[in-house]
Each structure stands twice: as structure tokens, then as C-alpha cells.
Amino acid sequence: MSEVTMDKIVSLCRRRGFIFQSSEIYGGLNGAYDYGPLGVQLKNNIRDLWWKEMTQLHDNIVGLDASILMHSRVWEASGHVSNFTDPMVDCKQCKSRFRADQIDLNAPCPVCGNRGTFTAPRNFNLMFATHIGADVDAASTIYLRPETAQGIYVDFKNVVSSSRVKVPFGITQVGKSFRNEITTKNFIFRSCEFEQMEMQWFCKPGTDEQWFPYWREQRMNFYVNKLGIHPEHLRWHQHGPDELAFYAKDAYDIQFLFPMGWQELEGVHSRTDYDLTQHQKFSGKDMTYLDPETNEKYIPYVVETSAGLTRNVLMALSDAYDEEQVEEGDVRTVLHFHPLVAPVTVAVLPLVKKDGLAEYASKLEHELRDEFVTFYDQSAAIGRRYRRQDEIGTPYCVTVDYDTLTDNTVTLRFRDSMEQVRVPVSELVATIKKATKEYKRV
Ligand SMILES: [Zn+2]
């Protein structure tokens, strides 16, 4: 095992087309990133595994895709307009801006080194404001959503009346959120535009105390068993009294050991009836639930599981990254992705281009496309092509050689062990699927 640094991850991501700085040819835009050909596939794979886990594999969970632009009253009700702020200071000398809670106000400015040049701290709202319609005035101000949760709360009654769901049930949503972070850092960990994967679980008041530990266990299991993350890189952090929102009953974060240290990956929070009650107050609409069996009327309690999809991508990359000594003086860079997470599942490689091997391999690659994300590569020596696939985390390489032409068998190479086995082409799909099912993280 080698040390995983953020520089190594950033460099690999750029070199191999996982993640680029946004608007790079114009000098880049801070806190914004583009997902390249491999990055978008990696992100989609994680999103799809999460969606399947949180809807298909659970009872009573339905999906939603709410609009990014919402009525500005939503954010008054949620408290974001008045409270979603960071204390900011500016250096009067060099005009640099800092979060007051992240620097020592008595120390010299970290940028220009002058002393006593900071302005008094003032609150800065993290929501991106824009205007809807032709008039640019206070009445037309709306916000890019800073979280996806509120879209679920405001549609709570619509879902209940249209989907025959009964409490307890959940609503899932994956989507982009926006925060005007002044200090963006650690690559995609804290960016202005990011993606969330959230589930809000509506339950009868009192039963939240059973559901809260249930969902904590479910969510930790997902990372270990479905995404194949090292259990020793994951831990729980319970919010102390100073971190807990005033309405929250209890809150835990799943933290991951990122290259810069332990940081939040997902929050599992017991939010009581706070959000629905606020929306009832601000909208004047009835947000209660009528139990069809007992005729009890109440505002449900909410347990939320709120994960960062873009943080999941950074986690998958850092957890998978390794530089391994293969032979004396020979080091390979490898991403040990779970096969279901890897952006390319199978690479098909002809040993040489000539004598019909390339044609055979290309045809085979086309046939595999229906089952797997595939990649065809016929350039350079076979050893170099294996290394190129190791570096992007492709779990299986299939090599077509001269024997293939006579007996229809191929070499199947496994990324982690570098073991090679001979497999009949007719059994290739089944063999790869079996290996994926039985995959154990090294
Ligand atoms: Zn300064």
C-alpha cells in the first residue's frame, strides 16, 4: 500500500479523463468541476447502485425529481434565507475574503501578510440568488436550491395522495444542489455545485426511535457491501450539542478517511416534524397525515439519509487508489474499484493486430456490449495495455491470441490478482458475472 495523496488523485483524474477543472481554457472556475468520460460513468454507476438500493430493494420507498428552482417562500420556511450563512471577513489591503471561523483574526493576513487589515465579520448567505422573469427586483428573486430535501417535503402531500403509500414510507431523490462556498477546497469534496442522494423517511412520531438506528445500519452496510469500501476507512460521528440543529433529535454522520483526513460523507439525521410543520405554517396548507386504519391525524416525523454523490466519487477514487510493487523496480498504479462501480468493466485486447486477431477481438467486444461497459484497445504491447486498464480500474481484461482462432478460448485477466485463466468464449459472460458477484476487496 502506498500513501494516497490528493495530488495523486487529482493528477490521475485529469490524466485519464475522470474529472477536469471547469472552464479550464479560460483559467478555470473555482469550486466547479467537469466529469469526463470515465468520471461520468463512475458517478452514474454509484448513483444507480444507490437508487436501486434505496428504492427497488426496500419496501415503501418511491422516487422524486423536484425542480432546482423553487418558490422563494420554501427557503424562508426552511430557515435558509435567514440562517444559511457563514461569517465572512475581507482583508482591506489585498481584498482577499475568508471565513471568519477558519482563520485567526489577530494573525497577519494569510495572503498579503499585513496585520490588522481584516474587516469586522459579517454574515454572508450561501444560497445563489437569481431572478425569474423579465423584472430584476426583490419580488423576482429566487434561489438555486442549496439542498434537495425541501423538494421532498413540499411534495409530501402530492406523493401521499397520488401513490397509495402509507406511513412509514420514504421518498428518494438524486440531484444537483448549489452553495456559494467562499472557501472551496480539497478538489470535489467542497464545491459550489454538487450532487446529493437523499431519502426522507416519514414515520409516526415515536417510531422514529426505531427507524433511526435501522437506517444508520442500512447506510453503513451499503458502503461496505455494495460499494466495496474498506470498513476501516469508515466511521460514525455523532453530532455533539454544538453541532446539532435546534430541531434535530439526533444526528450521525458517516465519515470517510479522505486523503486530507476524516470528513463527512453522509448524514443520517432525525429531523422530527420540524420541516413539515414549517411548511404548514408558511404555506397555510394542511401537512398532516391521516392514518387510514386508525384515523389518527399527525404530522409525520422524518429520518433522513443524505449522501453526497460527488463526495462518493472522491471516496471511491481514494479508497481504490494504490501503487503496487509488481516486480523489482516495477510499480503499477491501480484502482481497485468494485466491478459494479468501475467505469469500464471489460477491456478486449487482441495480442497483435495482424492475422485476423483484431477482427476477432473487435467482434467479441461488440457482442459483450449488451452485458457490460466495454473498451477495445489494440495499440502498444499487451503489458502496457494491461497497465492502462489497471490505472482506470477495469476489473477484467480479455485477450484474444492465436489459440483463440483455433479453439475459441480467450485469456481472462483479473485486475487485483493479475491472475490469468483460459476461458471458452461461450462461458465468458457467465464467468465475469460470477466473479463480480463473488468479488472481495483486496
Ligand atoms: Zn491581505
Q: Can you give the CATH number for the domain in which 396 is found? A: 3.40.50.800
Ligand 1 center from residue 124 Cα (angstroms): 19
Ligand 1 center from residue 104 Cα (angstroms): 13
Ligand 1 center from residue 1 Cα (angstroms): 41
Q: What angle do CA 278, 197, 158 make, to 5 degrees?
A: 45
Ligand 1 center from residue 119 Cα (angstroms): 11
| Residue among 42, 80, 132, 83 nearest 342 (CA) | 42
pLDDT score recorded for residue 1: 53
- 65 grid coordinates: 425529481
Residues 214 and 304 in one domain: yes
Ligand 1 center from residue 338 Cα (angstroms): 46
Ligand 1 center from residue 120 Cα (angstroms): 14
Ligand 1 center from residue 122 Cα (angstroms): 17
Ligand 1 center from residue 183 Cα (angstroms): 15
- Which residues span the domain enclosing 223? 38-69+147-317
Residue 87 lies in a domain: no
Residues 305 and 266 in one domain: yes
Residues 279 and 187 in one domain: yes
Ligand 1 center from residue 112 Cα (angstroms): 4
Q: What is the residue-wise DSSP string for 350-401?
A: ESSSTTTHHHHHHHHHHHHTTTS-EEE--SS-HHHHHHHHHHHT--EEEEE-
Residues 169 and 226 in one domain: yes
pLDDT score recorded for residue 348: 98
Burial class, 308, CB count within 10 angstroms (exposed 0-12 / middle 13-18 / buried 19+): buried
143, 146, 151, 154 alpha-carbon torsion, rounded to 10°: -70
Ligand 1 center from residue 441 Cα (angstroms): 48
Distance in angstroms (rounded) separating the CA atoms of residues 115 and 191: 30
Distance in angstroms (rounded) separating the CA atoms of residues 381 and 246: 62
Ligand 1 center from residue 114 Cα (angstroms): 6
Residues 267 and 155 in one domain: yes
Tell which of 302, 317, 332 closes a domain.
317
Distance in angstroms (rounded) separating the CA atoms of residues 7 and 10: 5
Residues 250 and 199 in one domain: yes
Distance in angstroms (rounded) separating the CA atoms of residues 138 and 283: 20
Ligand 1 center from residue 131 Cα (angstroms): 33
Residue 166 lies in a domain: yes
Residues 358 and 432 in one domain: yes
Residue 80 lies in a domain: no
Contact by Cβ (8 Å): 10, 39? no
Residue 84 lies in a domain: no
Burial class, 101, CB count within 10 angstroms (exposed 0-12 / middle 13-18 / buried 19+): exposed
Domain count, the chain: 2
- 153 grid coordinates: 417535503
Ligand 1 center from residue 116 Cα (angstroms): 10
Ligand 1 center from residue 160 Cα (angstroms): 54
Residues 45 and 160 in one domain: yes
pLDDT score recorded for residue 431: 98
Residue 151 φ then ψ, to 5°: -60, -35
Encode the chain (442 residues) as per-residue pLDDT tens digits: 568 999 999 999 999 999 999 999 999 998 899 999 999 999 999 999 999 999 999 989 999 999 999 999 999 999 999 989 888 899 999 988 888 888 888 899 999 999 988 999 989 899 999 999 888 887 789 999 999 999 999 999 999 999 989 999 999 999 999 999 877 789 999 999 999 999 999 999 999 999 999 999 999 999 999 999 999 999 999 999 888 888 899 999 999 999 999 999 999 999 999 999 999 999 999 999 999 999 999 999 999 999 999 999 999 999 999 999 988 888 999 999 999 999 999 999 999 999 999 999 999 999 999 999 999 999 999 999 999 999 999 999 999 999 999 999 999 999 999 999 999 999 999 999 999 999 998 8
Residue 32 lies in a domain: no
Q: What angle do CA 422, 425, 429 make, to 5 degrees?
A: 100
Ligand 1 center from residue 97 Cα (angstroms): 9
Q: Side chain identity at 217, as an amino acid letter?
A: E
Ligand 1 center from residue 178 Cα (angstroms): 28
Residues 151 and 289 in one domain: yes
Q: Tell me, what DSSP letter sits at residue 187?
A: G
Tell which of 271, 302, 317 closes a domain.
317
Contact by Cβ (8 Å): 255, 235? yes
Ligand 1 center from residue 105 Cα (angstroms): 12
Residues forming beta bridges with residue 44, ordered by sequence position: none
Cell numbers 429531523 label which residue? Answer: 271
Residues 360 and 305 in one domain: no
Ligand 1 center from residue 115 Cα (angstroms): 8
Ligand 1 center from residue 94 Cα (angstroms): 4
Buried b (16+ CB within 10 A) or exposed e, 267-278: bbbbbbbbbbeb
Q: What is the CATH number of the domain that holds 174?
A: 3.30.930.10
Ligand 1 center from residue 431 Cα (angstroms): 61
Residues 293 and 379 in one domain: no
**How many CB atoms are located within 10 Å of the residue 429 CB?**
15
What does pTM read for this prediction?
0.94
Ligand 1 center from residue 187 Cα (angstroms): 24
Residue 160 lies in a domain: yes
**How many CB atoms are located within 10 Å of the residue 189 CB?**
21
pLDDT score recorded for residue 181: 86
Ligand 1 center from residue 259 Cα (angstroms): 29
Residue 218 lies in a domain: yes
Residue 267 lies in a domain: yes
Residues 392 and 249 in one domain: no
Q: How many helices (H) and strands (E) does the chain have?
A: 13, 23
- Which is it for strands 122-125 and 85-90: parallel, antiparallel or unpaired? antiparallel
pLDDT score recorded for residue 442: 82
**How many CB atoms are located within 10 Å of the residue 283 CB?**
14
Ligand 1 center from residue 238 Cα (angstroms): 37
Ligand 1 center from residue 182 Cα (angstroms): 15
Dihedral sign, CA of 36, 42, 46, 52? positive
